Amino acid sequence: MMITKTSLPRRTFLRGVGTTVALPLLDAMVPAFTALAKTPAAPIRRFGVVYVPNGMIMESWTPPGDGKLKLSSILQPLAPFQDRMLVFSGLDGLQGRGGTHTTASTRFLTGVIGRATSDGIEAGTSIDQIAAKQFGQYTQLASLELSLDRLDLVGTCDNTTCAFINTLSWTSPTTQVPGEDNPRVVFERLFGDSGTTDPVERLTRLRRDRSILDSLTEALADLEQELGSGDRSRLDEYLTAVRDVERRIQKAEQQSSMELPSLTQPGGIPDSYDDYAALMIDLQVLAFQLDLTRVGTFMMGREYSSRTYPQIGITEAHHPLSHHQDDPSKIAQLAKLNTYHVSLFASYLEKLRSTADGDGSLLDHTLMMYGAGMADSNTHDSMNLPMMLIGSQEHFNFKGGRHLQYDHEPAASLLVTVLDKLGVPVEKIANSRGRLRLDASLDTLPLV
């Protein structure tokens, strides 16, 4: 057998008629001698954020005791990932009791309340965008911001502009990063074609009914001749996943095409919240798998969301329900909704765990952050915020399976800690008091 030092470059694309599709990490992308030595490609660190609105039922969220993690009722769906979890208590956001919805989402990744100025709005640079500035040197997209609610609310919220609740991400104290709620637009941002939501153009695209992958047949045939059996199998699995995502988007568009134009349900958004969430999760996983981006945020809903959840027996709108006035029935329903959101997060983690990446899985190489911007929704409490991290000890230098309790530590200290674990250290964010002591060692990781 002839051995060469050549290999496919890590950033390899298939190009068809007007279409470009990136490839996942394959053995053929590892130099020949390295592959023979069974040395895996260097892992990539990623950062994912999942945000839930309108607070939490804290007595059902908070694990009992300190130290070894015992899952509360809301956290039960995360049992398969318990050994990777750090759940925090005693982290306080600025403002204390009687906060607002607008400050909750703004503060989550910035540590800053935010304020309206004569020139617009102002908050702080969010940690996802600080990481994206570093990681974006290596990827097609610096970051990917997704939402399951339209992020275009205008007018006045909490006696200030509603613009604050439309995103978690800020590239600077005065610049928000718009999120995307339309899976079709996200898909085409990742894989090509126009990202328009214009109803006429969408209908034309439906009638054309041509898969992005169908235009790559010749390129695929040529590439597969160069790959080993393991890579061919891995490529087939990936392309099947891409085609399935595209099929589900097309189905959603077909379901909505008879009612064009639509202001509240643009084409590509499934009617079912379960299907919608699953589709957006799959798009985020594909983006990570292809190394199109290493930073992603996902809002399961925005503050003030009045979505109902009849699929789990909740017909009262989320925001009014969150002001439960200590009604036991409403508290039980809201705890059920909180648990449902956690179950969707668990499905996201399972997708990451089942997707190979270098010497492990995407979950091994991704630091995930989950939580809400307020605790007790009935009082808009920002004391003792519900927050957790999911990550591997090997790649992020902390031991999971623990509940860590602090004595009114600024939540911004967790933001500093997250950046440190990602290898993008900063000295201070908002009112932070340094890094949280997650382990005896506070060594930072080298930059990728």
pLDDT, mean of residues 244-260: 57
φ, ψ of residue 16 to 5 degrees: the values are: -120, -155
Within 10 Å of residue 335's Cβ, how many Cβ atoms? Answer: 20
Please check whether residue 280 lies inside any domain of the structure.
no
Residue 147 shares a structural domain with residue 65: yes
pTM (2 d.p.)? 0.78
Residue 394 shares a structural domain with residue 255: no
Please check whether residue 175 lies inside any domain of the structure.
yes
Query: 211-238: per-residue pLDDT in tens?
Result: 666 666 666 666 777 777 767 776 777 6
Please check whether residue 362 lies inside any domain of the structure.
yes
Q: Which DSSP string corresponds to 337-392?
A: HHHHHHHHHHHHHHHHHTSEETTEETTTTEEEEEEES-SBTTTT--SS--EEEE--
Residue 405 shares a structural domain with residue 427: yes
Residue 229 shares a structural domain with residue 333: no
The number of domains in the chain is 2
% of the chain surpassing 70 pLDDT: 72
pLDDT, greater one: 96 or 341: 341
pLDDT of res. 283: 92
Residue 122 shares a structural domain with residue 19: no
Range of the domain at 240: 1-38+184-268
Residue 52 shares a structural domain with residue 115: yes
Please check whether residue 286 lies inside any domain of the structure.
no
Residue 201 shares a structural domain with residue 249: yes
Between CA 95 and CA 111 the distance in angstroms is 11
Query: 312-370: per-residue pLDDT in tens?
Result: 999 999 999 999 999 999 999 999 999 999 999 999 999 999 998 888 999 999 999 99
Mean pLDDT of the chain, nearest integer: 81
Please give the structure tokens belonging to residue 416. 């500093």
Under DSSP, is residue 136 helix (H, G, I), strand (E, B) or coil? helix
Its sign, for the CA torsion 344, 349, 354, 357, is: positive
354-360: long-range contacts, CB 8 A cutoff, minimum separation 24: 355/285, 355/288, 355/289, 356/234, 357/25, 357/43, 357/44, 357/288, 357/289, 358/25, 358/40, 358/41, 358/42, 358/43, 358/44, 359/40, 359/41, 359/43, 360/43, 360/392
pLDDT of res. 190: 82
Q: What is the DSSP letter of 222?
A: H
Residue 51 shares a structural domain with residue 126: yes
220, 235, 268: which is the final residue of a domain? 268
Please check whether residue 87 lies inside any domain of the structure.
yes
Helix count and strand count (H, E) for the chain: 13, 18
pLDDT above 60 (res 23): yes
| Interhelix angle 229-256/217-224, nearest 10 degrees | 160
Stretch among 114-123, 275-284, 422-431 having the lowest mean pLDDT: 114-123
**Taking phi first (over 0 means left), then psi (-120 to 50 degrees means alpha), and beta for anything else, what does residue 352 get?**
alpha
pLDDT above 90 (res 10): no
Alpha helix (H) ranges present in 14-100?
A: 32-36, 58-61
Stretch among 35-44, 109-118, 139-148, 341-350 having the lowest mean pLDDT: 35-44
Please check whether residue 277 lies inside any domain of the structure.
no
In the structure, what pLDDT confidence band is assigned to residue 89 with cuts at 50, 70 and 90? very high
pLDDT of res. 216: 62
pLDDT of res. 371: 98
Within 10 Å of residue 173's Cβ, how many Cβ atoms? Answer: 14
Please give the structure tokens belonging to residue 211. 């898969």
Please check whether residue 413 lies inside any domain of the structure.
yes
Q: What's 443's domain CATH number?
A: 3.40.720
Between CA 153 and CA 161 the distance in angstroms is 9
Query: 364-407: per-residue pLDDT in tens?
Result: 999 999 999 999 988 888 999 999 999 999 999 899 999 999 99
Residue 32 shares a structural domain with residue 48: no
Residue 239 shares a structural domain with residue 318: no
Residue 162 shares a structural domain with residue 194: no
Stretch among 134-138, 238-242, 334-338, 426-430 having the lowest mean pLDDT: 238-242
Residue 157 shares a structural domain with residue 57: yes
Please check whether residue 276 lies inside any domain of the structure.
no
Please name which of 87, 90, 89 lies closest in space to residue 402, comparing C-alpha atoms: 87
